[in-house]
Structure 1
Amino acid sequence: MPLPRTATTFAPPVMEARRWLEGMTFTEDRPLINVSQAAPVDPPPEGLRRHIAETALTVAEAHLYGPVLGLPELRDEVATQFSAAYGGEIAAAQVAITSGCNQAFCAAIMSLCGEGDEVILPTPWYFNHKMWLDMLGVTTVPLATGRDLLPDPERAAALITDRTRAIVLVTPNNPGGVEYPAELVRAFFDMARARGIALIVDETYRDFDSRSGAPHDLFTDPDWHDTLIQLYSFSKAYRLTGHRVGAMITSAARLAEAEKFLDTVTICPNQLGQHAALWGMRNLSQWLAGERAEILDRRAAISDHFPMLEATGWKLMGVGAYFAYVEHPFDAPSDEVAQKLVQEAHVLTLPGTMFMPASDASGQRQMRIAFANVDRAGIQTLFERLKAVQI
């Protein structure tokens, strides 16, 4: 008897990690340092919260069904701002608003793939991407990366078959943190176009890229929409994780296909969240610049303090946006190490086994540190605890 679709994949990793906290007691002197999840825990700034409250009180239609592909004003704002940021031309009709960036990915895959098709994911991969492909019966083809965590277009090209429908890039990367060079993203785009497949570029963390200017030039191509599907999240930029607002930028024809899926699943994106995202885009650029500066300082703190861990055998493989990706020095596999870190160091992190196929043993030596909610002093404390651990 065939398995139900949900039984074809693994349990949500973040929820699994939270269960490691059951029965644990943490004190004020040694509180838990939670570096397991890449989401801000602070609420949105007060001005944005007030706007959400005023919208809830005064905009009656914010409580009703809205357009499946999102508020026209927000779609237009995304098109306008992203066109300026990337130096290209994006029309509002090429923008859909989704219930978070995860749903944008799901919609993109639904518009591309049938059961038995293939999608190439660089490893370490974002586990929710793998889970969705599993549940659809789409084969995930892992593309191993080197010590620099950057995927190779030529190695990717060698993996393409007549069932390949897309290659997925996440930049800045989750879980690796690395920022893909513009020329690398362009090489993947050119290769995908030549082979007649889609290039999905998940830019959830674009607001925290350390580089100035556009991170790639794909939107300057007048026919970008024949190959590119860009994904974005408002959650990280404006602390709107609970409101679930993301975006998908692609051809109008593909959005017409995605609309079938979106209408069936949520009917429309969260209305209050969309109004919040629109207000944020129009009013919070200076505030967001401050948020970016803080994240970049935390990134610098990772590099500044990591030598204390290097002395005990830890290795820093990648750092950027919300993440540091590291190699631990212990003989035990990373899933065991992660659970022991909760007990011995009061640190909750995710093991590399959650970001790798089971056949790739390198995941047993790797771990992801999500530092979005740990300031510079907290990062030093984190590394001091890790340095003292013996497993």
Structure 2
Amino acid sequence: MAGVFNPNMAATDAPPVMEARRWIADKSFPADRPLINVSQAAPVAPPPAGLRQALAETILTNDAAHLYGPVLGLPDLRAQVATQWRAAYGGQISPAQVAITGGCNMAFAAAMATLTAQGDEVLLPTPWYFNHKMWADMNGVSAVALPCGDDMLPDLDAARARITARTRAIVLVTPNNPTGAEYPAGLIAAFYDLARTNGIALVLDETYRDFHSASGAPHGLFTRPDWDDTLIQLYSFSKAYRLTGHRVGALVAARARLAQVEKYLDTVAICAGQSGQHAALWGMRNLGPWLAGERDEILSRRAAIAQGMARLKPLGWDLLGAGAYFAYVRHPFAIDAADLAPALVDMAGVLLLPGTMFRPKGDPAGRQELRIAFANIDQAGITTLIERLENLPGQLAPRAGHR
């Protein structure tokens, strides 16, 4: 029995971040040249002191936090999400249209479990978020690659041409992981209309919405009176309040869909962790000004990355996209990114991910691309990162057309 596996699961790629961690597992780095780890998009600091104190008090004094809670989440947290979403987006959103999940990846899995069966198709813009592709593979769902242009925005006409009788959803991530691209409101609306016309879902992952460079609502979909016929929105508290270890996400959709989501969540996790939900609720109620400061800091790091990449451009580097936690770049070397990324650990003391992890196998574009999770390092760290890339060893041959 030890060798019997679900063939879909066996054919699914291993988790890329875990693979990257193995590149540094047996290595040490000198104190004067420490590793710069820009491989994973996760806050590296704990939550602010006030939230940690509230979390401690919850654990010490709230007996219910140690028990199973409602499958779809704490009523107060669902209500808080609905209230803040109405203020942020406009339109009508009720607590009954909000579910709380064990992180945003679980929100995605739950949504897709209600939409798709084996043999169905979903459209994923490429470069794609690898966990979305992994979920499709392990469930026998075809991930149909939807190309993006040079601006890293998905092509609407290409999406229209790829919709078939088996298509169940279009998945968009904005601000995007891995490219950082922020999708314009008009483009999001056009994809909503395309999905609605074809009777499929638009799954909109807004994990990084708190770090969008534009003020105001990033789209107007919730103002449509029947938005929940088409739209499924995903969100994560992890990035906003540094709660990655507590696994709290949200799914906003029609009540009828959440009735199906409840079946999935009850089977997989029963409920999201109670203490994490209380922490997210406290954060939403108390950390608005603090979160605004976090956004300002991320935007300053984005500016620093853009300035640094401008320094690298004469060397053949190109900045393809930047926003929220990510910069997506094209390197100037003949070496495949899948080989360059692990080599950079020794060459430069830098851990990042190759574009091959975000594209279909054989897609030549991925061989020249790298993802940098720049939100993990401060502006001084970004300066050091750029210097290390600027001074890579001379044995790296340039790709054709570069010197």
Find the aligned partners of 2:272 and 2:6 in 1 and give their Cα distance: 31
Find the aligned partners of 2:209 and 2:116 in 1 and give their Cα distance: 26
Match of 1:381 in 2: 384
SS at match of 1:66: coil
Answering whether residue 259 of structure 2 is matched by residue 235 of structure 1, we say: no
Aligned residues: 391
Match of 2:146 in 1: 143
Q: Which among 309, 312, 332 is matched to residue 312 of structure 2? A: 309
Answering whether residue 215 of structure 2 is matched by residue 217 of structure 1, we say: no
> Deviation above 4 Å: which 4+ runs of structure 1?
none
Find the aligned partners of 2:61 and 2:8 in 1 and give their Cα distance: 42
Contact 2:44–2:376 under 8 Å retained in 1: yes
Aligned positions of 1:1-391 closer than 5 A: 3-390=6-393, 391=396
1:181-210 alpha-carbon deviations (Å, 9 max, x no partner): 000000000010001000000000000000
Tell me: CA distance 1:98–1:2, structure 2 relative to 1, closer, same or farther (3 Å).
Answer: closer
Find the aligned partners of 1:4 and 1:140 in 2 and give their Cα distance: 17
SS at match of 2:315: coil
How far residue 5 of structure 1 moved from its aligned partner, in angstroms, is 3.5
1:123-168 alpha-carbon deviations (Å, 9 max, x no partner): 0000000000101100000001111110011110100000000000
Report the TM-score when normalising by structure 2.
0.96
- Mean alpha-carbon deviation: is it higher for 164-173 or for 14-23? 14-23
How far residue 4 of structure 1 moved from its aligned partner, in angstroms, is 3.7
How far residue 2 of structure 1 moved from its aligned partner, in angstroms, is 7.4
Find the aligned partners of 1:321 and 1:152 in 2 and give their Cα distance: 21
Contact 2:123–2:143 under 8 Å retained in 1: yes
Could you tell me which runs of 5 or more consecutive residues in structure 1 were left unpaired when the two chains were aligned.
Answer: none
Find the aligned partners of 2:134 and 2:84 in 1 and give their Cα distance: 32
Over aligned residue pairs, what C-alpha RMSD do you find?
0.9
Find the aligned partners of 1:192 and 1:214 in 2 and give their Cα distance: 21
SS at match of 1:306: helix
Tell me: CA distance 1:2–1:31, structure 2 relative to 1, closer, same or farther (3 Å).
Answer: closer
Find the aligned partners of 2:96 and 2:298 in 1 and give their Cα distance: 33
Contact 2:234–2:251 under 8 Å retained in 1: yes
% identity of equivalent residues: 66
Aligned amino acid, residue 369 of structure 1 = I
Find the aligned partners of 1:61 and 1:150 in 2 and give their Cα distance: 45
Find the aligned partners of 2:354 and 2:53 in 1 and give their Cα distance: 39
Find the aligned partners of 2:25 and 2:283 in 1 and give their Cα distance: 37
Find the aligned partners of 2:49 and 2:339 in 1 and give their Cα distance: 41
SS at match of 1:372: helix
Report the TM-score when normalising by structure 1.
0.99
Aligned amino acid, residue 221 of structure 1 = R
